[in-house]
Amino acid sequence: MRVPLSWLREYVDLPATGDAMADADALHAALVKVGLEEEAIHGVALTGPIVVGQVLEFVEEPQANGKTIRWCQVLTAPGETRGIVCGARNFEVGDKVVVTLPGAVLPGPFAIAARKTYGHVSDGMIASARELGLGDEHDGILRLTTLGLDPEVGTDAIALLGLDDLAVEVNVTPDRGYALSIRGIAREYAHSTGSVFRDPAALAVAPRGTGFSVVLDDRAPIRGRRGCEAFVTRVVRGIDQSRTTPAWMVSRLELSGIRSISLVVDITNYVMLELGQPIHAYDLAALTGGITVRRATAGETLETLDGQSRTLDPEDLLITDESGPIGLAGVMGGASTEISETTIDVLVEAAHFEPVSIARTARRHKLPSEASRRFARGVDPLVAEPAAQRVVDLLVELAGGAADALGSCVIDAASPAPIHLAEGFVDALIGVDFSLDEITVSLTDIGCTLNVDDNGWQVTPPSWRPDLVDAPSLAEEVARIVGYERIPAVLPVAPPGRGLTRSQRVRRATANALAAAGLTEVLAYPFVSLADVALTDGDAASVALANPFDSDTGRLRRSLIPGLTRIAHRNMARGLTDLAVFEIGAVYLPEGTASYGVVEVPTATEKPQSSVLSELENSIPPQPWYLAALFVGDRRSRGIGQAAEHAGIADALDAAHAVAAVAGAVLRVETGSHPALHPGRTAALFVGDTHIGVAGELLPAVAVERDLPRRVGVLELNLEALIALGSSEVEAGTIAAFPAATQDLSVVVAESVSAGAVRAAVVEGAGALLETAVLVDDYRGAGLEPGTKSITLALRFRAADRTLTAAEATEAKLAGLAVASERHGATLRA
């Protein structure tokens, strides 16, 4: 939320030191004290001299490049005329304009100086609205008459147009929607500093409009609440479309992050920012009959203000007239009734919609808006009438309209329920001794009504605080208003004998090991599409989300691989073509036909019984920890006399062995299969006889479909299972005192026999003297019988107590060959 200082000063007394930046910093500090988060300071970076000038005369001069410029004589102060070159042609003699004189600096920064151009010395510049930071309009220079201004020549234009204002930006958490308004921020500043708060909603409201039909017809309440609980309409007739938005309003809207569009629309946005109540204006002549608020029916469509035709969902709440849908309630209006240049009579709508319904509609249609942002967080249902009146007043004052008696007012919002706050509860929860006066004053200041009962108070929250639902939320408000500095900082003492579990230690060590090997840890969203589930797990069951952020990703992941492919694609699209990334995270594996859903969550006032904990545990699917890694691009770049080495299955296997070593386990590698991996480049990974993962390369078709290179190495391990199978004891290796004996062993086996199986047989047969056995060659071709292949292992032998002879090493090698021959029919290659 961006808050212009000049706007806020209308409702609280801000100190004015003469230094706008210091004032903004002080405001930030005050708002941080009451729990808002400091973000940034915004303002137009320009300095004077910038003054009001009047065009006395000009001469149009065609140029050789086809452009025509105007050599203007501009009065910038009584008795002071300057010659200025201007390329715009939208002004006439006598117009008053904004002149930036030499020494001024415009946003950019763009310094103004007297300079020679087009054969003249231009002594300044006549500015456009965009050059001054007043909007995007750049078709010509800014004529002050279009803003309804007729100031004296030489007047300081910075002060005239509000260009000396600053805005502070604060982050508003989802539970404090009331702070998405000048009204809410002013109230919070008053809480922080004790300044007097002047409520902008406390304005005189004219008698309610009558005669305009409004029907609230909600057939599908959300969580027991109707979709619309208040709907106020007012009518203003005779709008003068020739009038433009005044400069002060444009400046405040721009500082607040909203672009100026037209006077009527700007007024509705202005009131939304001021009071926190989203407003919608309709062209009254375009309406057919009255308004009905209802849910959509299957197959209905609506063209919204952004020009998109949208197919509606039965849960969408609509604004309709006799012609059909004319708006998505609380999200965006329809194109058929929008305000246009021909609009004369305006119907103003101020309504209150149910937050969950609006949030789901905005998410479903991928249509975030300032209105939906506020409705989703909760809007004060009692501010609708004052907000509608404020819009009417501004339309009468600025647009030349006349308020009409036609309108309606339907308010059926439930009053906030009283909350029992026991005496002593706040002290016990917060850990601070508060006086009774501090508690009652704090709650009264935020707008609560207190009634004393036998053991404390019955506290009724204000209408603008839907987040106050129980005693703990009231206690938190007392702590916030009195001051968080009252809460002592106490470092808890950990009980002896505690610490990280073995699983936590191994997960951390695994992440450190992979990072040390050059991989980058990433985090992907756990939400995936059905296509992602099918990619890695075929038609296996997956958990469906009841309220997904995006309908296209409404499932919980069964694998980490789809998320890594999306991350790789995003990085490669930004020029990072050589990647090695990994993620450690939970996957969600539903068991059989088990059903998972929402259960009632117990309160924090007492320890739940074991049956309640068991019910909670059974309401969620198993969530084991997995590890996945992805390798794409070159592991080693091309250099002088050196070809590039592409990443692939070898990198995935190296990472797998590194992870297994951290977990204290030894991997066994066999030829495997996986729906997403290349059938000839897939390894199944085992610890003992337990399958714990796969390593390989993506199917080229899958890689291309996801906009990745054809060769992508991937690894996925059930890290939780690997840790359970690994050893918790780490044995330190001994330093060899005697030299090693090395020999190679080349055997011929059937193509169906894996190299890993041959290696395992040789290792078992060679016995304790064999130190390492590394696969160095897998040959298929000339010199071999069809259907066979040659496997070559580099063997290293060593004894702890002597230097081995060649005969001893050969004897051990042949013993390994004998086992491989017995199990797999291996023969020594000549």
DSSP string, 177-207: GGGSSHHHHHHHHHHHH-PPP--TT-S--PP
Q: How far apart are CA 415 and CA 434, in angstroms?
A: 29
**Which phi and psi (to 5°) does residue 627 adopt?**
-130, 135
In this prediction, residue 232 carries a pLDDT of 94
The tokens for 759 are 């290696």
Alpha-carbon span 104 to 46, nearest angstrom: 7
**pLDDT in the model for residue 463:** 92
Predicted local confidence at residue 137, as pLDDT = 62
Q: Which of 462, 475, 484 is closest to 427 using CA atoms?
A: 475
Q: Measured between alpha carbons, how far is 597 from 620 in angstroms, rounded to an integer?
A: 7
Predicted TM-score (pTM) of the model is 0.66
What pLDDT sits at residue 630?
96
Can you name the residues that pair with 169 across neighbouring β-strands? 2, 40
Amino acid at 702: V
pLDDT for the residue 730? 67
Residue length of the chain:
830
**What contacts 767, CB < 8 A, 6 or more positions away?**
812, 815
Res 135: pLDDT: 64
* pLDDT computed for residue 223 by the predictor: 56
What does residue 394 show for φ and ψ, rounded to 5 degrees?
A: -70, -35
Query: What is the C-alpha separation between 546 and 619, in angstroms, rounded?
Result: 14
pLDDT given for residue 605 in this prediction: 67
Phi and psi, residue 712, nearest 5°: -135, 120
Give, as one character, the DSSP assignment of residue 219: S
In angstroms, how far is CA 30 from the centroid of its own chain?
27
Strand ranges, E, within 345-494: 346-353, 402-411, 419-422, 449-453, 456-460
Residue reference for tokens 């036609």: 406
Q: Between the CA atoms of 822, 755, 716 and 632, what dihedral angle is there, to the nearest 10 degrees?
A: 180
In the predicted model, residues of the chain with pLDDT beneath 70 are 44-45, 135-139, 219-225, 594, 598, 604-605, 730-731, 733
Residue 168 in contact with residue 28, Cβ under 8 Å? yes
Neighbours of 574 (CB within 10 A): 8
Give 198-239 pLDDT, tens digit per residue.
999 987 777 888 899 999 987 556 555 688 989 999 999 999
HSE-up of 728 (CA within 13 Å, CB side)? Answer: 6
In angstroms, the Cα distances linking 675 to 120, 525, 719 are: 74, 22, 20
